[in-house]
Amino acid sequence: MSQADPPRLPEGFDVPFAEAIAWARGRKAVLPAEFYGARLQAVRARSFAIAGLAALDQVQQVADSLAAATADGKTLREWQRNLPDSVFELGSARRELIFRNAVQTHYGIGRTIQQRENAGTRPYLMWNAINDSRTRPTHRAMDNHIAPVDDPIWRRWFPPAGHNCRCTRISLTEAQARARGYPKAAPNVEPDAGWDGDPTDDDVPGRLLAEKVAHASTALADAMRLRGKSSPLLEDLQRAAPDCDLLDASRFASEWCIGPRPGQPTWKDAGRPDLRRVGDDSRLIAPAMLAAAPNRSDAVNVLAKALGLSADRPLLDVQTPVETALLRPDLLAHMVEKEADARERYANFILPTLRDPFEVWGVEYADGIRNRYIGLFRGARDFMVVLRVNLDGSLMWNVMQATTEKMNAHRIGMLRYGK
């Protein structure tokens, strides 16, 4: 094989691996709540999580090892040789499930990309189940079903179609399809819950927009649709909807801002201490306060300078105990929008709060997850930084300072980290 040839699966497989490898290497480690809370398989296929592992660096290590296993054709035993101890603590059955789900997803995506490229000569796909005692009845019912490559049924039935699914899709010429009985009605069965989608769907932003609209109030949905005509990306959509609980509520009707979903657990449910009883030994030394800026434009500059952001450095990655926070200059303006708050005075509190928080809470909002970082400081005020969890990373979205007593009220959702 020349260097120009794509890598191929080891003996026993017949699909070039380049597409599967590229997809595997592009998966992003996320926390379980974000992964399992996603309602689209296309979103989950682009990310990777392990229930029971809270450290993103461990999750990413496993994701990278699975990408390597896909590239090298490793067996389950070979893959397990260099895993962190935390993965072994999950048990052998869980490890096998993690391996087979991931690698089968990578294979399925690689094969699908190849099959679409060859649709001109092999325009049909056939579902192929193993048909042994482990095969699920619904998957068995789909066995040998044939439909064109672009038939809507393949948007629902994509291998793997469930945990540990071993099914595949085989491409056929028209003559082969006719010889196998095409056309005939599709069986009235569905994939396993949560597996009913096409991971390679290129219209993820559009589908996420539709999903967000479906769960939003009427007024907000109308605004999102209008913005979606020119820019359907989540990031642009969410700029039109401030956080209800972090801005002056009197300035926004409730339907025009995004608030946390009601009924989420609180710090009391998590058995965490009342912040009013946390002593100085568990608090950070308060950094220097800055002077209030004369106008909002200067306030943005104060924030940017304190964070080291500039035209030459338009993105800052900050490692937190649970993830990487992305800080960008274009997202600073709304943090200091309310002039009376003069939040730029607290710019020096942002990085210590992200790097050494007392707690991190994953809070479910109407449009997704936002992580609240609680920073405790010696003195009269504590600090909170909010990261909005996006497909492309966790962006710093808002900041606020509050008395210790009032900060207690912001400690809701899932505790992701606590000292």
Of 152, 175, 198, the residue that ends a domain is 198
Q: Please name the residue that has the structure tokens 């026993």.
A: 12
Q: Which residue has the higher pLDDT, 51 or 219?
A: 51
Rg over alpha carbons for the chain, rounded to the nearest Å, is 25
Neighbours of 240 (CB within 10 A): 14
Instruction: Give the span between the Cα atoms of 301 and 307, in whole angstroms.
Output: 10
Report residue 124's pLDDT band, with 50, 70 and 90 as the boundaries: very high
What's the confidence (pLDDT) of residue 182?
A: 95
CA 129 distance to own-chain centroid: 30
- Both 181 and 306 in one domain: the answer is no
- Both 167 and 58 in one domain: the answer is no
| Residue 38 confidence (pLDDT) above 70 | no
Average pLDDT over residues 322-331: 83
- Range with the largest mean pLDDT of 9-13, 17-21, 331-335: 331-335
Report residue 367's pLDDT band, with 50, 70 and 90 as the boundaries: low
Report residue 23's pLDDT band, with 50, 70 and 90 as the boundaries: low
Q: Which residue has the higher pLDDT, 219 or 329?
A: 329
Phi-psi category of residue 258: left, alpha or beta, with phi > 0 → left and psi -120 to 50 → alpha = beta
Average pLDDT over residues 342-357: 94
pLDDT tens for 272-300 read 999 999 999 999 999 999 999 998 889 88
- Range with the largest mean pLDDT of 20-24, 314-318, 414-418: 414-418
- Range with the largest mean pLDDT of 127-136, 199-208, 240-249: 127-136
Instruction: Give the span between the Cα atoms of 195 and 202, in whole angstroms.
Output: 17
Residues in the chain: 419
**CB-neighbour burial class of residue 258 (10 A; exposed 0-12, middle 13-18, buried 19+):** buried
**CB-neighbour burial class of residue 176 (10 A; exposed 0-12, middle 13-18, buried 19+):** middle
Cα dihedral 76, 37, 25, 42, rounded to 10, equals 110
Q: Are strands 393-402 and 168-172 parallel, antiparallel or unpaired?
A: unpaired
Residue 368 lies in a domain: yes
Residue 219 lies in a domain: no
- Both 104 and 166 in one domain: the answer is no
Task: Please give the residue range of the domain that contains residue 97.
Answer: 1-117
- Both 187 and 326 in one domain: the answer is no
| Residue 270 confidence (pLDDT) above 80 | yes
Distances from the Cα of 299 to the Cα of 169, 291, 317, angstroms: 57, 10, 22
What one-character DSSP code corresponds to residue 124? E
Residue 248 lies in a domain: no
Of 63, 89, 117, the residue that ends a domain is 117
What one-character DSSP code corresponds to residue 241? S
Q: Is 136 helix (H, G, I), strand (E, B) or coil?
A: coil
- Both 93 and 148 in one domain: the answer is no
CA 41 distance to own-chain centroid: 11
Average pLDDT over residues 180-191: 93
What's the confidence (pLDDT) of residue 349?
A: 96
C-beta separation of 389 from 34 below 8 A: yes
Residue 223 lies in a domain: no
CA 335 distance to own-chain centroid: 24
Residues 6+ apart with CB under 8 A from 102: 24, 48, 63, 66, 70
Of 117, 138, 160, the residue that ends a domain is 117
- Both 269 and 414 in one domain: the answer is yes
The two structure tokens encoding residue 396: 């710093």
Average pLDDT over residues 363-375: 84
Q: Are strands 324-327 and 316-319 parallel, antiparallel or unpaired?
A: antiparallel
Q: Which of 62-66, 112-116, 278-282, 359-363 has the lowest mean pLDDT?
A: 62-66
Q: Is 20 helix (H, G, I), strand (E, B) or coil?
A: helix
Q: Which residue has the higher pLDDT, 259 or 121?
A: 121
Instruction: Give the span between the Cα atoms of 196 and 190, in whole angstroms.
Output: 7
What's the confidence (pLDDT) of residue 255?
A: 38
- Both 272 and 395 in one domain: the answer is yes
Number of domains comprising the chain: 3
- Both 90 and 136 in one domain: the answer is no
Residue 283 lies in a domain: yes
Distances from the Cα of 252 to the Cα of 247, 248, 259, angstroms: 9, 7, 12
- Both 72 and 144 in one domain: the answer is no
What's the confidence (pLDDT) of residue 120?
A: 94
Q: Which of 27-41, 228-242, 271-285, 368-382 has the lowest mean pLDDT?
A: 228-242
Report residue 257's pLDDT band, with 50, 70 and 90 as the boundaries: low
- Both 131 and 62 in one domain: the answer is no
User: Cα dihedral sign for 335, 409, 362, 163?
Assistant: negative
Q: Which residue has the higher pLDDT, 350 or 380?
A: 350
Residue 277 lies in a domain: yes
Q: Which of 47-61, 104-118, 200-214, 345-359 has the lowest mean pLDDT?
A: 200-214
C-beta separation of 350 from 377 below 8 A: no
- Both 411 and 278 in one domain: the answer is yes
Q: Please name the residue that has the structure tokens 């001109």.
A: 120
What's the confidence (pLDDT) of residue 330?
A: 72
Residue 366 lies in a domain: yes
| DSSP assignment string, 117-172 | HTTTT--EEEEE---STTS-HHHHHHTT-EEETT-THHHH--SS-STT---EEEEE
C-beta separation of 98 from 50 below 8 A: yes
Q: Which of 20-34, 318-332, 352-366 has the lowest mean pLDDT?
A: 20-34
Across the chain, mean pLDDT equals 78
Q: Which of 309-313, 400-404, 406-410 has the lowest mean pLDDT?
A: 309-313
pLDDT tens for 129-143 read 999 998 999 999 999
Neighbours of 132 (CB within 10 A): 8
Average pLDDT over residues 4-27: 51
The two structure tokens encoding residue 349: 């509190």
What percentage of the chain carries pLDDT values higher than 70? 71
Residue 178 lies in a domain: yes
State yes or no: cis peptide before 148, omega within 30 of 0: no
What's the confidence (pLDDT) of residue 309?
A: 86
Q: Which of 187-191, 221-225, 251-255 has the lowest mean pLDDT?
A: 251-255
Q: Which of 209-213, 328-332, 387-391 has the lowest mean pLDDT?
A: 209-213
Angle (nearest 5°) at CA 373 between 208 and 26? 45
pLDDT tens for 147-170 read 999 998 998 899 989 888 999 999
- Both 74 and 181 in one domain: the answer is no
C-beta separation of 101 from 48 below 8 A: no
Report residue 234's pLDDT band, with 50, 70 and 90 as the boundaries: very low
C-beta separation of 363 from 369 below 8 A: yes
Phi-psi category of residue 78: left, alpha or beta, with phi > 0 → left and psi -120 to 50 → alpha = alpha
Instruction: Give the span between the Cα atoms of 99 and 109, in whole angstroms.
Output: 16
pTM for this entry: 0.47
Neighbours of 110 (CB within 10 A): 23
Q: Which of 80-89, 90-99, 110-119, 183-192 has the lowest mean pLDDT?
A: 80-89
What one-character DSSP code corresponds to residue 216? S
